[in-house]
Amino acid sequence: MIDLLPSQAERWQKVEALARNHFRRAGLGEIRTPLIEHTELFSRGIGETTDVVGKEMYSFIDRGDRSCTLRPEGTASVVRSVIQNGLLSQGPQRLWYMGPMFRYERPQAGRQRQFHQIGAEFFGLSSEISDAEIISIAWDFLNDLGLQELTLEINSLGTTEDRKKYRENLVAWLENFSEQLDDQSLKQLKQNPLRILDSKKAHIQELLNGAPMIGEVLCQRSQDRFLNIQSILNSLGIPFTINQKLVRGLDYYCHTAFEITSKQLGAQATVCGGGRYDGLVEQLGGPATPSIGWAIGLERLLILLSEDYFKKEVPEVYIVNKGCKAQIEALKLARDLRKSNFLVDIDYSGSAFSKQFKRANRSNASWAVVIGDQELLQKEVRLKSLKGETIDPGEHFVKISDLNQIIERLRS
């Protein structure tokens, strides 16, 4: 788990602000759920046979003897919340969330034990347009960040019937090659065979190139739905490739599955993962509700963003001052200017003006405001432009009490 220091936090804020902006314009509402839930929510909502539930959860028994878990992802909590708060009877819900998630994994680049996700979920929308819209929100946000070399991969998992048929075909085929499967895949073959398609082992992936694919068994309705989504994405000018190995092992996932990956990320290539989960709300005790969502890993996004994306914010005003009285005036003025939205730094050194001016220049501020003995005597401040290119360079004396004129000068 890592600390975010100011230089990093500034970057995070910029990315978070852009995400909020995209969600606001798309009419999504924010939902904030607790970091701790009953363990059972995740074992039912994510599934006992997944890595997340099987070996990655931070669980503990609380003082009331209940098994609790630090949330490893956002969807289950959001589903619990919309059921518990009766939101599903109020028409379709378009929601987003952002915050820390916890998984006991081996830490490495792009993989932490506390990490952060930005996510979006739609409830009560079943049309292909809603699939395309929620994908487009992720795509547009990532592109707006200036990320290049992103690949959108999509697949269809069809209906429950389609997957049942596919599971049988896949298991029958894999059983011919059981001597080539590793321990993990052999276990999955019994518990959750679709997850073998997700194996990170190269020899398994090679073997799977000959395996039956889900596209071969999709019923007409599922095929039409998938084709329609492809045609909408084409109309929107969003490029995609079909990856038939992109699956989710759990029964409530259906139809659309998608991922956005970046080659620049190496082994941890997935920035965004999502899909349709029409069966989950019902599975967690709510009314049957078509649902679709995605989650973006923020740490991986931050790795991808170039240095130029984050130009450090520089102060607009640097207050040069000397003496106890001047320091108080400097702080008063800083507060007034900050109220008017200026970024203001105060020099704390009490050193010679020449040294303070050097620092003012180094801070890249546009203006130095000088408060010294002479100025105090005259009840004035001296405004000195630090940028040669201003129309009206040079020095100005303004009454310290005339805040409006000070602001007017600084804005010129």
245 part of the interface to ligand ATP, by CB under 6 A: no
Cα 135 from chain centroid? 14
CB 92 within 8 A of CB 125: yes
Give the shortest CB-57-to-ligand ATP separation in angstroms: 12
Query: Which among 107-115, 308-316, 337-345, 383-391 is the span making contact with ligand ATP, rule CB under 6 A?
Result: 107-115
Among 59, 244, 268, 363, binds ligand ATP (CB under 6 A): 268
Closer Cβ to ligand ATP, 22 or 165, answer by number: 22
Question: For residues 39 and 41, what is the distance between their CA atoms, to the nearest angstrom?
Answer: 5
The residues in 170-189 that bind ligand ATP, with binding defined as CB under 6 A, are none
199 part of the interface to ligand ATP, by CB under 6 A: no
Binding mask 295-314 for ligand ATP (x = CB under 6 A): x-x-xx--------------
Question: For residues 57 and 68, what is the distance between their CA atoms, to the nearest angstrom?
Answer: 10
Amino acid present at 377 = L
Q: DSSP character for 28?
A: P
Binding mask 202-231 for ligand ATP (x = CB under 6 A): ------------------------------
Distances from the Cα of 83 to the Cαs of 274, 342, 377, in angstroms? Answer: 21, 45, 67
Query: Which among 106-114, 142-150, 155-163, 216-224 is the span making contact with ligand ATP, rule CB under 6 A?
Result: 106-114
**Adjacency order of strands within the sheet including 67-70:** 36-38, 67-70, 58-61
Give the shortest CB-299-to-ligand ATP separation in angstroms: 5
Concatenated DSSP letters of 303-354: HHS-GGG-PPP--SEEEEE-SHHHHHHHHHHHHHHHHTT--EEE------HH
Question: For residues 353 and 346, what is the distance between their CA atoms, to the nearest angstrom?
Answer: 13
Among 273, 275, 286, 290, binds ligand ATP (CB under 6 A): 273
Give the shortest CB-49-to-ligand ATP separation in angstroms: 14
Element (H, E) at 274: strand 270-276
Binding mask 69-88 for ligand ATP (x = CB under 6 A): ----x---------------
115 part of the interface to ligand ATP, by CB under 6 A: yes
Interaction site with ligand ATP (CB under 6 A):
73, 103, 105, 110-112, 115, 117, 268, 270-273, 295, 297, 299-300
